[in-house]
Each structure stands twice: as C-alpha cells, then as structure tokens.
Amino acid sequence: MYAQTLAQLFIQRMSSNWYREEMLPDLIIPVPLHTKRLKERGFNQALEIAKPIAKTFNIQIDKLGIKRTKATAAQTTLKAALRECNLANAFMATKRYDNLSIAIVDDVITTTYTVRELAKTLKQAGAEKITIWAIARR
C-alpha cells in the first residue's frame, strides 16, 4: 500500500526539518470519511497514513472523536465554487479537545475547505492549536 511509503517520506521530513525544536502535537486526527464512503472504499487513506506517523512519534490517534455527519460529494468532482458549500457543517465533535494541540492528517489538499471545516469543528470543541499535515497539495 502506498500509505506506508508516503508516511515514511513524511516522517523523514518531519524528523529532519519541521520538528527539531518545535513540540509535537498532543493528538493526531485523520480526516474522517462518512460511513457510506468508508464502506465503499474499505479504508480511510488519511488514517492509513497517520498510523505509521503516530507510531514513530508516539502520538495518539483519535479516530472516534470527530464524525463526518454529512455524506458529501467527492471534492474532486466539484468545481471550486461548490466545494465550500459541500463541506459546510460536515463534521461533528463527540468530545472536547480543550487546550490540546492537534495535527489533522489528510492525503491531498486542494482548496483547503475540508481541513478548514474540520479545524473549525475542533476549535469549537476547545482545541488550542491545529496543524495540518498533508502528503500533497494540488
């Protein structure tokens, strides 16, 4: 699976450049898929990328505290103007994240609407700092 290889490349970059003096986050949250999409795909690519990163840096993954409540169309199928509306209120926090530093993990970021909506949900649930970790930017 490509996720393991991509994660290893990300880990190398983190170790050599990004987190030499900066504190690592308290928690990793992979961008959740709606249950319908997860059943279709069979796996969450963001979670598969997050697993080796979490293991390497001994950071807990939270895969239950945020739910994707809206079965959105795939962002790649939509024009940029429709992507923001597609994701409005797509996530719900089922717990508090008070004063935590959280890394959101995603595979590819295009318009940033997904991670912005997820970050907004985390901030409303008390997160103090949000960092976005993505494998690619389109």
- Exposed/middle/buried for 121, CB within 10 Å: 0-12, 13-18, 19+? buried
φ, ψ at 103 (rounded to 5°)? -105, 120
- pLDDT on residue 82: 67
**pLDDT, tens digit (0-9, with 9 covering 90-100), for 65-92:** 999 987 765 656 666 666 666 677 889 9
What integer pLDDT is reported at residue 80 of this predicted model? 66
- pLDDT at residue 38 in the model: 87
Alpha-carbon dihedral of residues 43, 75, 30, 14, nearest 10 degrees?
A: 110
Where in the sequence is the domain holding 95, given as residue range(s)?
A: 2-137
List, for residues 94-133, the tens digit of each pLDDT value: 999 999 999 999 998 888 888 999 999 999 999 999 999 9
> What CATH number is attached to the domain comprising 102?
3.40.50.2020
Q: How many structural domains are present in the chain?
A: 1
Give the model confidence (pLDDT) of 1-46 as tens digits: 678 888 887 778 777 776 666 789 999 999 999 889 889 989 999 9
The answer for residues whose C-beta is within 8 angstroms of residue 40's C-beta and 6 or more apart is none
Q: Under 8 Å CB-to-CB from 43, ≥6 apart: which residues?
A: none
For 77, residues 6+ apart whose C-beta sits below 8 A from its C-beta are none
